Structure 1
Amino acid sequence: MTRAPLESEVREGAIKRSIGQSNVPLESSPLSGNWEWDERAGRANSNRFVDGMASLTSDPNGSGYLGVASGAALLRVTDPNPNGSEDQIASGQIIEPSNMPTLRIPYSSDSLGELDPFVKQYFNLFHKSYPIIHEATFRAQFMHVLPRPKAKAWEVLLFVVAAVGAFTASTQPSQEDVGLFEAAKARMSFDMLETGSIHLVQALTLISNYMQKRNKPNSGYHYMGLARRTAMAIGLHKEIQSPTMNLFEREMRRRIWHCLYIFDVGAIITFSRPLDFPSNGVDAELPMDVHDTAITLGTRQTPHFATETTIYTHMRAQVAFHMATSEIYSKMISTSFPSASELIEADDRLISHWLSSLPPYFQEDATQDVTFRLCHSILRWRYRNFRTLMYRPILIRRVMSRRGQIATNGEEPNYHEDIAIERCLQAARESVQLISAYWLNEHKNTMACWYGLYFLFQAVLIPIYCLRNDPQCAAADEWREQITQAMRTIESMSHIIESASLFLEKIRSIANLYPLMWPNLDIAHMDGFDTSLQASTITDFMNQIPGFE
């Protein structure tokens, strides 16, 4: 006879299901029964804004599937009105710039010389983090020093490079890149997908990343699938020992494959979708950490690794990071969420080891030349963000059990849960501090803004959630400071990326809950304390937040 489950087991199961991977509160289903989407006009099916960071979209309808590790997951818990209200942020409607001229590039090859400023911007900024193209070769082809490839894929690649360069290097809201990207799309055809080439892989990969950053994440996800299949079809995932292939060609194959890997896995984690990047049968080696001058068409001997940061250092470090954390991510999105002790063990074994294995010149506190400060900073933000994501279900479970929303078995929180929660809080705190400091002191452009905003918004949701649910905690003042600091930074970011204002409004709508954030006000009134002092404390805090003056 089957034994009836004990009451404590039923309660424990309720907790696991609520914080698990397929039910509330971190994951929800669309009302329409599917996750269909339409991004052709930059909007989802229901005229709701779908951001490329998968952070603002708390409503699952028309947004595509966004799982438990996405930024949208925690927003489903913290958002008091996820399905819309009268204001633009609660309804999720996108703010479309109305007074920005779109640069339309003529579709004739005679105008390619006009792309030079944008190509330069690409190589001066984006290329330093993601060297999927060999700069010298591409520039020589662009300038007709070397013959331009006749395949249409190269021309598509050229316009995509220009679009990415224009977008990422911009220091103010701009639409220049849109015309460039439209020119790239105009040069694509179904016939092109019946070919396979290095240039096509490069173009599709950059298109994917560009579309995500331009708030068409599902479209970018599609293009990345095409890029990966094309790459495998021409064998970029394999080490080729052909005697006719020189070192330069072999290195370029490795660079392209691993840049594709970075973008693909990065997007998978952002949207919290299954990790389907192949591992079996893949033996492409990591590119060497050398300066470009060390490997040319004439190089015959393998050069020594550089002893300083190169344009390949960040790529190697990020590839190693994703390889180290793939095991953890797979557990994070599984039906049975791992225990706190399992996460801590994996963290110490994989992430800590990865961190200590970085070359001395790319360690956490290593000073970087201005050329590499952004990619170095993004890597620091990235691994803290991952730690925040992996531990936050433990934090949410603890907070919800204290609020009585989930029944508990009466046991005291265990030692490992305490460590996990502290690591989540620490990672979020450090993210707010590091991103805010970078934004205050370093060069501001759209690329820095996009990554900074993505990681900062997810980080600040942690103190907001904690403050709303435990406003009398000893750490409450510190949480308020983090919220204030993050909002000031995001407000400054809105001068470059207009959608940053949507993130700011979302934080305001969540944080502006006086009874939850300031419970002592009613207590002070009942006990005869000076409520004017309490009210002034609230006002002082709110006045520090952009938009409340």
Structure 2
Amino acid sequence: MRKAARRVPPELRQRTARSCDRCKARKHKCLQIPGQARCQHCEHFNYTCKTTKPRKKRLYGSADNVRARIAYLEGIVKQYVNAEGDLSSLEVLQELGASLNITVGNIQDVKLDCPEIDPYEPEQATSTEQNEELVQDQQGQDQYIGPASSYFFQMKLRSLLGRQRQHPRCQMYLFGPNPTEETLKPFASDVLTDFDVRAIAIPSQLGVDAACLPYSVPLLDHFVIEGLIRAYFDYVNVDFPVLHEASFLETFNRWRVSPSSVDRPWVCGLLCVLLLSRRIMPLGTTETQQQKWWTYVESLLPSMIFTNNIHSIQALMLAALHLHNTNHRDACWTLTGVAARIAVAIGLHRDEVVCEGPQLNRELRRSLWWTLYSFEQIQVSSHDRPSAIESTLGSTSPNERVLNINTSNWPADYAPWSTKLVSILGLVCRALPNLTSESGFSSVAELLGELTLWHTSLPQHLTLQEFDMLPDGHKRPVLLLHIQYHYTVSLLTRHSLLRHLASTIQGQTSDMNEKELETIARVCCDSGRKSCELLLHLDMIGKFNAVTWWDIYYVYSSALVMTLSILSDCTRQQSEGYSNHESLSLLHNCALILNRHSGNPMVPDTMRRWIGAIYDIDMLVHERVSPTQQGPFNQQAPFNQQAPFNQQAPFNQQVPYMYGSVARNEVFYPNTEHNALQMNPEMGMVMNGNNVPGMPMPVWGGENEYFSWDSIGCMLLGVEALDSSFGL
């Protein structure tokens, strides 16, 4: 096939006489306007048109000929001087020339003959940065972590604070060992019965067939299983609406009578329900019982991969959430991807698909699709990996009336506004690879406009102005909606804040318009601060879920932004006398509530690693600020002295360190005793050697020990080996 003729012959093609910084960052041709000092793009958007970047040098001729010429010249040099080393480095060639008394007339002219690499182009990454994107899990396998992930954002923050990673090779501690190794024994039964699920697992009988025992296996009472299911729908399904309660309970009653009448994926979903709800309310079940249920789940997972129906997607999503919470985020990512593929295979992503049966089935499909998409996008935003379903996204939100979800757990119109926010989060995740460069500034401005429009268009009952008037069951969904909004804003703008702070600390001027960059940085600081305030308020009203949902991750993400905000405040304080006491107090209070939650034995391993990271960040910030700024923390300023989260309904005087009533249903402190809620004892304040208020170390035990700041990379992605002084 003949190649299409060029519109302009090569000999007549001309380069633009001048290319401004913005057009270089956009990689567009800089069109000059006759008689104007600014180019067409800068004139249209009223930008400052300036040229400070060096002009990119062209490499004319065939690249193959140039490479062959360089290789031939290297061969001549090696033959002439008998050099066996690597001559690809300019420094090595200079040393070799000096040893032979060879003088190059003008080294700058030599550099101009070579193509230059634009340091502002994101695709021209160094080999070290590229290698950091492949990390090692605890099975010794390489896995990809994107440069815009939460971990690399944390590592850049560390570099600003003068704390560098000590070892080049990284290991992802939240990508745990193979979860199949946590099973008790293989399960070969074709049909799982009520007897199998209720059979109490006893450590001394592990690996022994129940039929070989001389006595009958003790069983859990029926109300224990029913209580766990009730706890799931009261606390887990409201955040992660995977199951329809009425349909699930109907199938559950049918399964108890006739186990063979339901398919295996539904039974797997039932087991995952028990695993998740046990962290809310154990009802006397033990860790061994949890391992036994997971053994059943692991044996059923292969059959779900080859079964394309709704039950398979539901079971995979529930199993993925359990793996995410138990330090297996890599396996969670894999199962989420499988669920997404099955969802596309059965048409959940298509609004036009005609679904047989009642309208309820169609709305259940839509609800499940949006839950899956939201769950996948929060993982995409954390890992900075490509989405598996972003190009096949549906557009219609589920009908709340048909699903009957407009009850005491969800406010009216919650679903459409939540799905719209998730859609914007998907757009932000898609733009993440370009947000670290100047070329992504236009995307930041556009997406910020969409987020602002979403936030200002919320109906009155979903805003924070009417928060005090909401029913008790609606408060957590509304707060989470605004927390997710501020998380999305912070995710979109935090690299601009990092860049602005780095240029300020280093005394450099950014190539981007300084006012615009400063505005984005201020937006990021405000969202991080408001997110922390909302999370503190969520804990104050007893709605903070530290055991099954993303609450602690939101605190972790907000704490990173707050740390940058505090460093920015310190810079402003040096020049403007600005005080950052409120930000320091806010960060410390976030660390305090998580330290209190760490006393809950049901907090899973993933959450504990995030808690340790936040605790360490808080201690580092207190060590870094000047002693004159540490005084207010000894007084523990009440929350109403901070900016109120809704500008109308201020916080109470202080966040309580313990919940005052066992009768409150919102408490997430289960006890291993039968049907009881354990109240966490009050955590008192302690002072370290520098008279800085601190907290008792979280009670982790076993391998989950306390991590110091120098090992904070190990919280999410740490080095393989650390100094013994780090406590590992």
TM-score by length of 2: 0.57
Kindly report which structure 2 residues correspond to 1:263-282, keeping only aligned pairs within 5 A, or say none. 263-280=375-392
Residues 173, 160 of structure 1: CA spacing in aligned structure 2 closer, same or farther, 3 A cutoff? closer
SS at match of 1:141: helix
Q: Are 1:478 and 2:582 matched, yes or no?
A: yes
CA RMSD in angstroms, aligned pairs only? 4.2
- For residue 197 of structure 2, the aligned residue among 95, 109, 112 is 112
Q: Which moved more, 1:470-479 or 1:130-139?
A: 470-479
CA offsets, 1:237-277, max 9 Å, x none? 23466585321221222222222112112211121112342
Contact map agreement 1:262 1:322 (CA 8 A) in 2: yes
Q: Are 1:463 and 2:562 matched, yes or no?
A: yes
Contact map agreement 1:378 1:451 (CA 8 A) in 2: no
Give the equivalent residue in structure 2 for 1:193: 305
Cα distance in structure 2, aligned partners of 1:354 and 1:155: 40
Residues 285, 4 of structure 1: CA spacing in aligned structure 2 closer, same or farther, 3 A cutoff? closer
Structure 1 residue 9 displacement after superposition:
0.6
SS at match of 1:144: helix
- For residue 352 of structure 1, the aligned residue among 418, 440, 452 is 452
Contact map agreement 1:153 1:199 (CA 8 A) in 2: yes
Residues 251, 36 of structure 1: CA spacing in aligned structure 2 closer, same or farther, 3 A cutoff? same
Cα distance in structure 2, aligned partners of 1:63 and 1:469: 36
Structure 1 residue 123 displacement after superposition:
0.7
Residues 309, 165 of structure 1: CA spacing in aligned structure 2 closer, same or farther, 3 A cutoff? closer
Residues 121, 539 of structure 1: CA spacing in aligned structure 2 closer, same or farther, 3 A cutoff? closer
Contact map agreement 1:289 1:310 (CA 8 A) in 2: no
Structure 1 residue 372 displacement after superposition:
3.4
SS at match of 2:550: helix
Cα distance in structure 1, aligned partners of 2:488 and 2:301: 38
Give the equivalent residue in structure 2 for 1:453: 552
Q: Are 1:391 and 2:488 matched, yes or no?
A: no
Residues 236, 489 of structure 1: CA spacing in aligned structure 2 closer, same or farther, 3 A cutoff? same
Give the equivalent residue in structure 1 for 2:361: 249
CA offsets, 1:441-468, max 9 Å, x none? 31454347x5232111221222323444
Cα distance in structure 2, aligned partners of 1:176 and 1:357: 49
Q: Are 1:402 and 2:504 matched, yes or no?
A: yes
Contact map agreement 1:288 1:312 (CA 8 A) in 2: no
Give the equivalent residue in structure 2 for 1:432: 532
Structure 1 residue 164 displacement after superposition:
1.9
Residues 518, 8 of structure 1: CA spacing in aligned structure 2 closer, same or farther, 3 A cutoff? same
- For residue 290 of structure 1, the aligned residue among 401, 416, 428 is 401
Cα distance in structure 1, aligned partners of 2:627 and 2:488: 32
Q: Which moved more, 1:439-448 or 1:169-178?
A: 169-178
Kindly report which structure 2 residues correspond to 1:522-537, keeping only aligned pairs within 5 A, or say none. none
Contact map agreement 2:398 2:416 (CA 8 A) in 1: yes
Kindly report which structure 2 residues correspond to 1:162-173, keeping only aligned pairs within 5 A, or say none. 162-167=274-279
Contact map agreement 1:133 1:202 (CA 8 A) in 2: yes
Residues 422, 224 of structure 1: CA spacing in aligned structure 2 closer, same or farther, 3 A cutoff? same
Structure 1 residue 65 displacement after superposition:
2.5
Cα distance in structure 1, aligned partners of 2:185 and 2:543: 28
Q: Could you list the runs of 5+ residues in structure 1 that have no partner in the other structure?
A: 38-43, 47-61, 97-101, 295-305, 522-537
CA offsets, 1:45-88, max 9 Å, x none? 46xxxxxxxxxxxxxxx673332443212210223545469xxx
Over the matched positions of the two proteins, sequence identity in percent amounts to 16
SS at match of 2:279: helix
CA offsets, 1:267-324, max 9 Å, x none? 11121112342445x5563211227459xxxxxxxxxxx6987388544433211213
Contact map agreement 1:105 1:183 (CA 8 A) in 2: yes
Residues 402, 173 of structure 1: CA spacing in aligned structure 2 closer, same or farther, 3 A cutoff? farther
Contact map agreement 2:186 2:299 (CA 8 A) in 1: no
Q: Are 1:223 and 2:335 matched, yes or no?
A: yes
SS at match of 1:324: helix
Q: Which moved more, 1:355-364 or 1:8-17?
A: 8-17
Cα distance in structure 1, aligned partners of 2:546 and 2:289: 12
Q: Are 1:518 and 2:605 matched, yes or no?
A: no
Contact map agreement 1:487 1:504 (CA 8 A) in 2: yes
Give the equivalent residue in structure 2 for 1:546: 695
Give the equivalent residue in structure 2 for 1:74: 153
Give the equivalent residue in structure 1 for 2:348: 236
Q: Which moved more, 1:4-13 or 1:468-477?
A: 4-13
Structure 1 residue 151 displacement after superposition:
1.8
CA offsets, 1:168-225, max 9 Å, x none? 5579998478426513433325344222111111111222222222221111111111
Residues 130, 434 of structure 1: CA spacing in aligned structure 2 closer, same or farther, 3 A cutoff? same
- For residue 423 of structure 1, the aligned residue among 513, 518, 523 is 523
CA offsets, 1:24-43, max 9 Å, x none? 89x94446x83353xxxxxx
Cα distance in structure 2, aligned partners of 1:171 and 1:10: 68
CA offsets, 1:82-136, max 9 Å, x none? 5469xxxx99878x9xxxxx99899652143543222111111111233221111
- For residue 429 of structure 2, the aligned residue among 295, 314, 329 is 329
CA offsets, 1:489-524, max 9 Å, x none? 22122223343542244315632544xx22989xxx
Residues 250, 180 of structure 1: CA spacing in aligned structure 2 closer, same or farther, 3 A cutoff? farther
Residues 385, 23 of structure 1: CA spacing in aligned structure 2 closer, same or farther, 3 A cutoff? farther
> Structure with the greater relative contact order (CA < 8 A, sep ≥ 6): 1 or 2?
1
SS at match of 1:72: helix
SS at match of 2:228: helix
Contact map agreement 2:409 2:473 (CA 8 A) in 1: no
Residues 492, 357 of structure 1: CA spacing in aligned structure 2 closer, same or farther, 3 A cutoff? same
Q: Are 1:493 and 2:597 matched, yes or no?
A: yes
Contact map agreement 1:70 1:270 (CA 8 A) in 2: yes
Cα distance in structure 2, aligned partners of 1:144 and 1:28: 56
SS at match of 2:694: coil
Give the equivalent residue in structure 2 for 1:9: 53
Residues 81, 376 of structure 1: CA spacing in aligned structure 2 closer, same or farther, 3 A cutoff? same
Cα distance in structure 1, aligned partners of 2:355 and 2:569: 66
Contact map agreement 1:388 1:427 (CA 8 A) in 2: yes
SS at match of 2:479: helix
SS at match of 1:499: helix
SS at match of 1:64: strand
TM-score by length of 1: 0.74
Kindly report which structure 2 residues correspond to 1:373-392, keeping only aligned pairs within 5 A, or say none. 373-392=475-494
Kindly report which structure 2 residues correspond to 1:7-86, keeping only aligned pairs within 5 A, or say none. 8-10=52-54, 16=120, 23=125, 28-30=129-131, 34-37=134-137, 44-45=138-139, 64-79=143-158, 80-81=162-163, 83=165
Cα distance in structure 2, aligned partners of 1:21 and 1:247: 48
Residues 382, 21 of structure 1: CA spacing in aligned structure 2 closer, same or farther, 3 A cutoff? farther
Give the equivalent residue in structure 1 for 2:206: none
Q: Which amino acid aligns with 1:518?
A: S
Q: Which amino acid aligns with 1:288?
A: N
Contact map agreement 1:387 1:424 (CA 8 A) in 2: yes
Cα distance in structure 2, aligned partners of 1:185 and 1:312: 36
SS at match of 2:145: coil
Residues 83, 210 of structure 1: CA spacing in aligned structure 2 closer, same or farther, 3 A cutoff? same
Residues 364, 15 of structure 1: CA spacing in aligned structure 2 closer, same or farther, 3 A cutoff? farther
SS at match of 1:274: coil
Structure 1 residue 366 displacement after superposition:
3.9
Residues 379, 197 of structure 1: CA spacing in aligned structure 2 closer, same or farther, 3 A cutoff? same
Cα distance in structure 2, aligned partners of 1:180 and 1:546: 36
